[in-house]
Every structure is written in C-alpha cells, then in structure tokens.
Amino acid sequence: MIDVVRESALDKKGEGFTALDVSGRTILADTFAIVTGRSRIQTRAIADAVTEAARLRGYGVSRIEGYGDGSWILIDLGNVIVHVFTPEQREFYNLERLWSLPNAASSAS
C-alpha cells in the first residue's frame, strides 16, 4: 500500500515523501505517509491521485479531511494515513518531530 501512495504522490510532483512506522504507538494506523505539495491546488491533485490509485487497487478510502482548504489533507486508508501538506503547514505541524521516530523511511523527491 505504501508503494501505491508514494508512486501516486510523486507522480504529481509531491516533495519530501516520508513514511513513518507508527505501529504499536497508536491505534489509528500502522503508517503515516507525509508528502508536501507546493500549493493548495497541488495538494488536492496529490490527494486525488492517491485516492484514485488506492481505489483502483481495491483499497478502501475511509475518510478524507481538509480537502476544501487544501493546506493539510488527511486521507484515511485504514492501516495507512496520508498527510498532504503545503510547505507552511508541514513545517508548522512537523509530524516527523512530533512522532520522533528513529525508523522513519524517507524518499527524496
């Protein structure tokens, strides 16, 4: 699943893709995927690509939050929660620091 998220986000020129293993730390998900779009239009395009790719591969999309505003879009894919941020929101919320996980897997874009 995380490969589907990464590929679809990077296909829309998402930046700074990171996957955080949060299994055992929260009941919300096993993985948080974090990616940045340079604008609200781009964050929506990334979110659209991720949800479409997930659905095409038979994964359920439980919920999407923040799409209207576009500065932080959350996509609940069950065991993976995708966070699509504008640069300002990603810096402000800094989920990587918040979860301070030493085993974060990053993929430069």
Q: Mean pLDDT for each 10-residue chunk of the chain (109 residues)?
A: 96 97 89 97 98 96 97 97 98 89 48
pLDDT computed for residue 109 by the predictor: 44
pLDDT computed for residue 25 by the predictor: 86
> How far apart are alpha carbons 8 and 88 in whole angstroms?
22
> How far apart are alpha carbons 90 and 34 in whole angstroms?
9
Q: Which two tokens stand for residue 47?
A: 């979110």
pLDDT computed for residue 108 by the predictor: 44
> How far apart are alpha carbons 27 and 49 in whole angstroms?
26
pLDDT computed for residue 102 by the predictor: 54
Longest dimension (CA), the chain: 34
Rg (the chain; Cα; Å): 12
> How far apart are alpha carbons 106 and 109 in whole angstroms?
9
pLDDT computed for residue 99 by the predictor: 78
- Spell out the domains of the chain, with CATH numbers in brackets: 2-96 (3.30.460.10)
pLDDT computed for residue 26 by the predictor: 85
